[in-house]
Amino acid sequence: MQHYLLLLILFLSAGQLSAQVTLEPQQIVVTEVSPDSTQAIGYGRVKNNADETRTYRWVRTIRSISEGWETAVCDTNLCYLPYVDSMEFELSAQLEANMNVYVYPNELEGSAVVEVKVVDVANPEVSASAVYYFNASPSSTRKRERHKNLQVYPNPTRNIFQVTNSEAVGKVVLFNLLGRELKSFSYIPGDLYRMDNLPKGTYLVQFQDRDGRILVTRVLNKL
């Protein structure tokens, strides 16, 4: 009996902790983002439900984004440049503030899915998160989750690499960290892909389907 009471207390305590900060709505869907859009905005609101001022840190995770697109976060203090993935901010007791995500299409067709998690700096167990969908939907994102098993190996490598066999893959594309396409390979199960003419460093391997849609992107290190 004491065991079950302890579990109940822990469960209720976890719920109370998570309720101390909220980020709503938990899913923000922005549609009809066209190439000629200067920007598109997903509007979220973060609230400190505690009875005192708290310091939080937001962390941005780009789940997927089309090549050439950029994304950035605006919190209660500032709008940050696209390369900023995390920042601390304060909220007074019971105060609500903006937690908006911007995308910049840069005259390109595309889509993006961005997650923002807000964590209490003093107590990381207190957190809340939301996902911002641009020209995407939660259902289409779940389909992409099925491609998480697509991997690159060996990693790191010296000159060649292989990828996980999958009927969904049509092309394997190699980019540098600036987003410049370096090599493109038609996918053949079990094939070897050469990169011996490239310098040592970090690269991005993008899996695309037969229609050129991005399935997933992996980081590959060359020794």
Residues 128 and 197 in one domain: no
SS3 label, residue 90: strand
Within-domain flag for 131: yes
Residue 98 lies in a domain: yes
pLDDT in tens, 47-88: 999 999 999 999 999 988 998 999 999 999 999 999 999 999
Residues 90 and 160 in one domain: no
Residue 125 lies in a domain: yes
| One domain, residues 85 and 176 | no
Share of the chain above pLDDT 70, in %: 87
Summarised one tens digit per residue, pLDDT across range 169-200 is 999 999 887 778 899 999 988 899 999 999 99
- Residues 127 and 28 occupy one common structural domain: yes
| Burial class of 215 by CB neighbour count within 10 A (0 to 12, 13 to 18, 19+) | buried
Question: Which of 116, 112, 101, 33 lies closest to 68, judged by CA?
Answer: 112
In-domain check, residue 133: yes
User: Within this chain, do residues 167 and 134 fall inside the same structural domain, yes or no?
Assistant: no
CB-CB neighbours of 214 under 10 Å: 18
Instruction: Please tell me the predicted confidence (pLDDT) of residue 41.
Output: 97
Residues linked to residue 28 through DSSP beta bridges, in sequence order: 132
DSSP element (H, E) containing 10 = helix 2-18
DSSP state of 37: -
Per-residue pLDDT reduced to its tens digit, 110-141: 899 999 999 999 998 899 999 999 988 776 55
Domain containing 128: what range? 22-142
Domain count of the chain? 2
Looking at 142, 158, 187, the residue that finishes a domain is 142
CATH of the domain at 57: 2.60.40.10
